[in-house]
């Protein structure tokens, strides 16, 4: 049975971090905006660090967020690593692919954000563009360093994505340099940027699974987190 306040796991980073007066240590961390977004929508957020066996934690969850972060190892989609590919963390790749598989096996709702959407695609055999500017001819998706700039997105009006968002045209906060090249098996594109980059996906025939290329936690529209938490509160995991 789902918990009274749905427990939403959020995949986390493993990076060196600084805090306080002098601490500079390896850390498991997550931008606070993810946690706050889940909590505002009525969920109880739980951070899932990228360690071996973390997929076992899915048994205690009602929903899963695959968060943004560094690039996926291109070996996972049989590609050589491009010069621009950065921030690859093998432990995080292993943890998130295992978390996704476990969540799908239990029938939990899943929201993939930026890197998380890319994990969803690669998990189904899809591929990625390792650096978008030379592919699409724009820097629409990451204009400045460490800044979430908006750009417009159009959503398929027949999709679950449109139903969740409640609209088919919106501006989204964006920060990424990679994107989906070939969708994986059963991966359906449901939103696009003006340069043709895929901005949202669903799994055909699999309910309650949605990925977006943008960062909803950095915007002011709670629709995606509201959907995840509401779905988690109703779902009966298998």
pLDDT one-digit tens code per residue, 68-117: 999 999 999 999 999 999 999 999 999 999 999 999 999 999 999 999 99
Helices 223-234, 32-40: axis angle to 10 degrees equals 60
- Catalytic positions: 114, 215, 217
**Torsions phi, psi of 218, nearest 5?**
-95, 0
pLDDT, position 84: 97
Residues 184 and 124: beta-carbon distance below 8 Å:
yes
Residues 229 and 38: beta-carbon distance below 8 Å:
yes
Sign of torsion over alpha carbons 166, 170, 172, 176: positive
Residues 222 and 48: their CA atoms lie apart, in Å, by: 22
Residues 171 and 100: their CA atoms lie apart, in Å, by: 28
pLDDT tens, N- to C-terminus, the chain (238 residues): 556 899 999 999 999 999 999 999 999 999 999 999 999 999 999 999 999 999 999 999 999 999 999 999 999 999 999 999 999 999 999 999 999 999 999 999 999 999 999 999 999 999 999 999 999 998 999 999 999 999 999 999 999 999 999 999 999 999 999 999 999 999 999 999 999 999 999 999 999 999 999 999 999 999 999 999 999 998 666 5
Angle at 33 between CA 153 and CA 45, to 5 degrees: 110
pLDDT, position 106: 96
Residue 35 vs residues 25, 172, 210, 229: alpha-carbon distances, Å: 22, 19, 18, 12
Secondary structure (3-state) at 9: strand
Residue 227 vs residues 32, 96, 163, 230: alpha-carbon distances, Å: 20, 21, 10, 5
User: How many other CB atoms are there within 10 angstroms of residue 122's CB atom?
Assistant: 23
Adjacent-strand bridge partners of 27: 15
Residues 138 and 42: their CA atoms lie apart, in Å, by: 38
């Amino acid at each position: 049975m789902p918990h009274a306040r749905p427990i939403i796991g959020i995949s986390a980073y493993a990076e060196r971090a600084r805090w306080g007066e002098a601490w500079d240590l390896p850390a498991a961390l997550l931008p606070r905006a993810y946690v706050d977004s889940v909590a505002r929508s009525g969920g109880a957020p739980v951070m899932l660090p990228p360690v071996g066996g973390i997929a076992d934690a899915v048994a205690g969850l009602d929903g899963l967020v695959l968060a943004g972060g560094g690039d996926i190892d291109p070996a996972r989609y049989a590609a050589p690593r491009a010069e621009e590919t950065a921030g690859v963390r093998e432990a995080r790749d292993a943890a998130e692919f295992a978390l996704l598989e476990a969540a799908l096996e239990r029938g939990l709702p899943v929201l993939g954000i930026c890197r998380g959407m890319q994990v969803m695609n690669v998990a189904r055999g899809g591929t990625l563009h390792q650096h978008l500017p030379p592919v699409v001819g724009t820097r629409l998706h990451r204009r400045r360093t460490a800044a979430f700039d908006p750009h417009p997105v159009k959503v398929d009006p027949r999709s679950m994505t449109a139903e969740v968002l409640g609209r088919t045209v919106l501006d989204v906060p964006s920060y990424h340099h990679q994107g989906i090249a070939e969708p994986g098996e059963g991966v359906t594109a449901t939103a696009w940027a003006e340069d043709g980059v895929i901005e949202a996906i669903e799994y055909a025939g699999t309910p309650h699974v949605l990925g977006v290329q943008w960062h909803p936690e950095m915007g002011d529209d709670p629709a995606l987190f509201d959907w995840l938490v509401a779905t988690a509160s109703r779902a009966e995991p298998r």
